[in-house]
């Protein structure tokens, strides 16, 4: 019976093992298993350096997860080591091990130590060398196994799986640089239309084990004039900081520019990582409304020899030949498809069209990405019956094949689920709804596997001034219910379609929330015809704090680095890429950061803080006034609202939130002098 069960596992585990990564910068992901070690699938030993965790058995922390970070070993940067893994006595497993060499709380492919496929009770080893580019200090090592052996490696360090175990350890990387900084990114300007005189903003990383300050950052465009300035702060070890050049550059001429930025630090121990170069293109804006459906001409028909895609195109755009056109990968040069006249392109790679799509993407990805950045709308979809998956480009997005989704659920309130073609809805079944899943960074999940929600079958990403949706969906004839499935496909096309625009109004609905002493979440309403926004934040004495280009569909930004107890204002301007113009400046929205908790000069003191739900608010200098106290959770729910009459000097109001969940809460004090914002932390 057990052997039969194990044989039947394969179909389930393949779906789980290739689940999407859920890594977060703030902390290490904790991988999850549906069964984990419960049936004997576990790591029975890891040996490396002075770590010898043998005969360790099943998971000690959760379902399939063991936190052994209390076990550590020293490893010298540049030295070679051997890791040995002992497998459990019952089931074969595939193994991958990682060390987070750059201390960024993620396990990347470049940080893989080795891979093994081990039969039951087997032992295997591999050698690795700690790279000289690794940052010294304490970091994490992960060893993961997933049933069965022979899986594609490296394994995903975070994804959902069915059987197996993950173990985390601590390593101390010794040696390396003490003083070492370098540029790792250029965050502004970005490729797209409408560039002009732009700030050059770069990200600097401190690779060293000592705080970095007193160094110079420089940049030049196309090898020309060098602009330099001091970094005005200190970057902690293994951390990053942002630097804005004292003078910007004129990118108004259409074309591509090579921007090189570098650091100059006295005593820098590794000059090889000082500089970074990025190509930024000022592209011609997409201004037309053309719609294109692309597929292969080698199969003799559309995927599965249906016409469902063509029917949906006609529903949205009108008749083929006048409202939209069909092009083939074998005969349509990218330069004739991805033009300013065409706004929407649907690239289909389902069934027997996947290999041809992959070939076309490989040859033309730079052109396609540039077109989207200029305002184009792209649907890139493949539910293959051939090949081995493919790169979808756009910053590391991938189509992972095969992964079969039977029931797909919508995520959030995306417009495609509500119209314009109805009925639609958010839940669809199929045989199968999808043949592949989507992975990548910066994605907004739109539809996921109902049985394993970490596996994504439709996602969205803004790219410059445009939008790209990635799918692993089959054609809608495989989907139920009807006519909802056909309407959903038409709604996706409609969402990505374009209309002729003539107006570029300034944004409205400005506001701010989640205000702390050093940060604030700024937001505004979507503006008609906007492909992005220019955001400017000032102190009320007109000192510029932030100038940021927010592209795509985003209508918010969290500004950091603010000063407690300070008055600020912000305004927004729309960038209407289709018109090649920008709106007038919006009205200004004003907000004040709270002083640090306990500062007496605020006349408001919260104590104790943190607390378990009961605390006092002392109000000084508000005698004879009515003061409204509002307390809001991090999710925006008001948990306390009370107006009090301050009838004495040193008035104190007791607050009891014993039924509130642990977490951060925002305390808003409304007086005739204005609104003051504070934070209180409730612990378990």
Assign residue 450 the CATH number of its domain.
3.40.50.880
Q: What is the CATH number of the domain that holds 652?
A: 2.60.40.3080
In this structure, are 118 and 212 located in the same domain? no
Question: What is the extent of the structural domain holding 532?
Answer: 511-592
pLDDT along the chain (684 residues), means of 10: 32 32 55 90 97 94 93 92 96 96 90 96 96 88 95 86 94 89 92 83 92 96 95 90 94 89 94 91 83 95 95 91 94 90 96 95 89 92 91 91 92 87 91 92 92 93 91 96 94 85 74 82 85 85 80 84 82 74 78 58 69 86 86 81 87 88 82 73 78
DSSP-assigned states of every residue in 326-381: EEETTT--HHHHSSTTEEEEEEE--BTTHHHHHHHHHHHHHHHHHHHHTT-EEEEE
In this structure, are 372 and 490 located in the same domain? yes
Find all residues with CB under 8 Å of 11, minimum gap 6, and list them. none
In this structure, are 334 and 451 located in the same domain? yes
List, in sequence order, every beta strand (DSSP E) within 27-92: 33-36, 43-48, 51-54, 65-76, 80-87
Find all residues with CB under 8 Å of 464, minimum gap 6, and list them. 190, 191, 192, 283, 372, 373, 374, 375, 551, 552
Q: How far is CA 57 from CA 170, 235, 355, in A?
A: 19, 42, 44
425 is a domain residue: yes
Mark out the alpha helices in 243-349 (DSSP H runs). Answer: 308-317, 334-337
503 is a domain residue: no
Q: What is the CATH number of the domain that holds 45?
A: 2.60.40.10
Give the bridge partners for 123, in sequence order.
Answer: 86
In this structure, are 110 and 17 located in the same domain? yes
Query: Model pTM greater than 0.75?
Result: no
357 is a domain residue: yes
Count of C-beta atoms within a 10 Å radius of residue 559:
18
Two structure tokens written together for 345: 């392109």
C-alpha to C-alpha distance for 374 and 269, rounded to whole angstroms: 41
pLDDT of residue 599: 40
506 is a domain residue: no
Q: Are 42 and 59 in contact (CB under 8 A)?
A: yes
269 is a domain residue: yes
Query: Which single residue is written with the structure tokens 């370098």?
Result: 182
In this structure, are 642 and 573 located in the same domain? no
How many domains is the chain built from?
5
Query: Which single residue is written with the structure tokens 């069960």?
Result: 5
pLDDT of residue 591: 77
In this structure, are 33 and 142 located in the same domain? yes
In this structure, are 265 and 349 located in the same domain? no
In this structure, are 170 and 255 located in the same domain? no
Q: Of 449, 541, 372, whose CA–CA distance to 159 is shortest?
A: 449
In this structure, are 317 and 255 located in the same domain? no
pLDDT of residue 674: 67
In this structure, are 57 and 79 located in the same domain? yes
C-alpha to C-alpha distance for 485 and 306, rounded to whole angstroms: 15
pLDDT of residue 541: 73
Give the helix/strand (H/E) hosting 487: helix 484-495
502 is a domain residue: no
- Residue that is last in its domain, among 441, 467, 495: 495
In this structure, are 573 and 619 located in the same domain? no
501 is a domain residue: no
- Residue that is last in its domain, among 174, 203, 232: 174
- Residue that is last in its domain, among 547, 575, 592: 592
500 is a domain residue: no
In this structure, are 444 and 342 located in the same domain? yes
Q: Are 172 and 138 in contact (CB under 8 A)?
A: yes
């Amino acid at each position: 019976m057990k052997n039969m069960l194990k044989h039947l596992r394969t179909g389930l585990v393949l779906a789980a093992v290739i689940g999407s990564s859920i890594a977060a910068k703030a902390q290490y992901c904790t991988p999850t298993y549906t069964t984990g070690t419960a049936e004997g699938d576990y790591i029975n030993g890891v040996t490396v350096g002075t770590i010898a965790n043998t005969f360790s058995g099943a998971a000690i922390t959760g379902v399939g997860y063991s936190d052994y970070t209390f076990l550590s070993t020293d490893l010298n940067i540049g030295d070679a080591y051997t890791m040995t893994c002992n497998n459990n006595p019952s089931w074969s497993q595939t193994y991958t091990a990682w060390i987070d060499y750059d201390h960024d709380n993620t396990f990347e492919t470049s940080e893989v130590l080795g891979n093994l496929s081990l039969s039951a009770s087997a032992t295997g080893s591999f050698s690795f060398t700690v790279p000289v580019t690794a940052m010294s200090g304490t970091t994490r090592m992960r060893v993961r196994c997933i049933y069965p052996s022979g899986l594609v490696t490296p394994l995903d360090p975070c994804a959902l799986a069915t059987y197996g175990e993950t173990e985390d350890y601590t390593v101390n990387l010794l040696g390396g640089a003490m003083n070492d900084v370098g540029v790792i990114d250029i965050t502004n300007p970005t490729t797209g239309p409408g560039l002009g005189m732009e700030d050059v903003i770069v990200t600097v990383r401190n690779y060293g084990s000592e705080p970095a300050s007193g160094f110079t950052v420089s940049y030049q465009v196309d090898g020309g004039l060098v602009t330099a300035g001091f970094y005005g702060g200190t970057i902690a070890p293994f951390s990053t900081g942002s630097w804005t050049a004292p003078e910007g550059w004129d990118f108004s001429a259409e074309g591509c520019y090579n921007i090189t930025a570098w650091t100059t630090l006295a005593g820098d121990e590794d000059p090889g990582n000082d500089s970074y170069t990025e190509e930024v293109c000022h592209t011609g804006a997409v201004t037309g409304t053309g719609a294109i459906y692309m597929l292969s001409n080698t199969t003799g028909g559309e995927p599965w020899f249906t016409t469902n895609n063509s029917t949906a195109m006609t529903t949205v755009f009108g008749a083929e030949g006048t409202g939209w056109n069909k092009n083939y990968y074998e005969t349509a040069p990218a330069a004739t498809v991805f033009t300013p006249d065409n706004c929407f392109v649907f690239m289909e790679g389902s069934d027997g069209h996947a290999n041809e799509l992959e070939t076309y993407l490989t040859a033309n990805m730079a052109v396609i990405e540039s077109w989207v950045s200029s305002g184009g709308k792209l649907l890139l979809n493949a539910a293959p019956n051939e090949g081995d998956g493919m790169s979808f480009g756009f910053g590391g997005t991938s189509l992972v094949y095969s992964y079969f989704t039977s029931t797909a659920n919508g995520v959030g309130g995306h417009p495609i689920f509500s119209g314009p073609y109805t009925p639609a809805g958010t839940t669809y079944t199929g045989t199968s709804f999808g043949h592949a899943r989507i992975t990548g960074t910066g994605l907004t999940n739109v539809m996921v596997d109902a049985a394993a929600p970490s596996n994504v079958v439709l996602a969205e990403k803004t790219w410059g001034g445009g939008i790209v949706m990635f799918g692993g969906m089959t054609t809608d004839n495989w989907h139920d219910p009807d006519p909802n499935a056909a309407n959903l496909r038409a709604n996706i096309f409609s969402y990505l379609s374009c209309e002729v625009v003539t107006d570029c109004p300034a944004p409205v609905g400005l506001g701010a929330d989640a205000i702390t002493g050093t940060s604030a979440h700024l937001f505004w309403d979507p503006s008609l015809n906007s492909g992005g926004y220019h955001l400017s934040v000032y102190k009320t004495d007109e000192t510029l704090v932030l100038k940021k280009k927010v592209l795509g569909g985003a209508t918010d930004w969290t500004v950091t680095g603010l000063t407690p107890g300070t008055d600020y204002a912000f305004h927004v301007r729309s960038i209407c890429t289709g018109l090649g113009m920008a709106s007038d400046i919006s009205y200004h929205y004003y907000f004040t950061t709270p002083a640090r908790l306990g500062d007496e000069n605020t006349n408001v003191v919260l104590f104790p803080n943190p607390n378990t739900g009961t605390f006092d608010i002392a109000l000084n200098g508000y005698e004879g006034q009515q003061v409204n106290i509002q307390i809001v959770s991090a999710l925006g729910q008001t948990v306390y609202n009370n107006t009090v009459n301050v009838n004495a000097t040193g008035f104190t109001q007791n607050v009891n939130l014993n039924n509130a969940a642990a977490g951060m809460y925002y305390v808003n004090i409304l007086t005739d002098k204005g609104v003051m914002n504070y934070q209180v932390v409730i612990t378990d």
